[in-house]
Structure 1
Amino acid sequence: MAQNSLSNTSDKLPSHEVLKDVPDNLKELIADNGKNLKSIRCSTCKSLILNKDTASLVKRETFLPYPQQKKNQKAEEAEGETVNSFWHVQDMYTFENVGFCKTIGTVKFLMCADCEIGPVGVCDTRGPRDFFVSTDRIAHEN
């Protein structure tokens, strides 16, 4: 169980950078132009989240709560994990299917709009043009 780092929000916007040393499990997912080679889908219902060739792979250390926790649970008590690799888009209209769930501090969590499973990613409200979808929380398909 990872410690929740959501309660430690600072005024500094978390940084992200293009992932240069791509882990072996992600190499087959990146096209020559650095974009996603396969479509990005919900791992539960397979609903399309992002089309291929729309997102860049970036490194960003971010806490994501585990899916399906108690609805009445306090945000600072959420259990989760720190995720380090994300698909990044700069326009919410790039998404084919995404919803926004709970906002904690300045972090708005992304979920599948069809089955409402999430969070699959984050958007920091201080940088509203940056959306991050965890490579670990979605499925990649042709």
Structure 2
Amino acid sequence: MALVEERKDSSGRNADVVYCTFCPSKILNSGAAAFVNIEFVLPEIMCKKGGEADKREPISDYWMVEDINCFENIGVSHTVDNVKYLACADCERGPVGWHDVSTCKSYIALSRVKHEKPSSQKK
């Protein structure tokens, strides 16, 4: 949990810029999402082509994005059971999170992305 606290600013939003773990693509700017602890089971990460889709991983730490237009770069799947899975739009690896069609909120798993300090805060 200490690692999660380091990733949040004083208002509970992402303090760092969020990137894809497989390529240099930026997914979210700092301050674009709020931390939430919500249980959701995501399929294991895979490429667009190939891989086994039946393996799943329960994840509970997410960045919640109120408006899908806040993303810098995200790919969205077709709807499956009122959910759209989110992946990197450049390398198409994912899912890194999910979008709830009923609430229009999106969730990015902290464990499936890379966090870096904004360039203005780097030493």
Cα RMSD (Å): 1.7
* TM-score (norm: length of structure 2): 0.87
The residue number in structure 2 matching 1:89 is: 65
* Partners of 1:59 and 1:71 in 2: CA distance: 31
For the Cα contact (< 8 Å) 1:110–1:121, is it kept in 2? Answer: yes
Equivalent residue in structure 2 for 1:41, among 4, 8, 19: 19
Percent identity over paired residues: 34
- TM-score between both structures, scaled by the size of structure 1: 0.76
Q: Secondary structure at the match of 1:45?
A: coil
Asked whether the 8 Å contact 1:108–1:123 carries over to 2, the reply is yes
Tell me how far apart the structure 2 counterparts of residues 91 and 141 of structure 1 sit (CA, whole Å): 22
Number of the residue aligned with 2:91: 115
- CA separation in 2, counterparts of 1:41 and 1:81? 20
Q: Deviations over 1:45-100 (max 9, x none)?
A: 02100000111100111010012277496xxx611100001000110110000011
Tell me how far 1:25 sits from its aligned partner: 1.5
Larger Rg: 1
Q: Where do residues 46-57 of structure 1 align in structure 2 (5 Å cutoff)?
A: 46-57=24-35
Give unpaired runs (5+ residues) of structure 2: 118-123
The answer to whether residue 112 in structure 2 is matched with residue 134 in structure 1 is no
Q: Provide runs of 4+ in structure 1 moved above 2 Å.
A: 69-73
Amino acid in structure 1 at the alignment position of 2:8: I
The amino acid across from 2:113 in the alignment is I
Aligned amino acid, residue 76 of structure 2: F
Name structure 1 gaps, 5 residues minimum.
Answer: 1-22
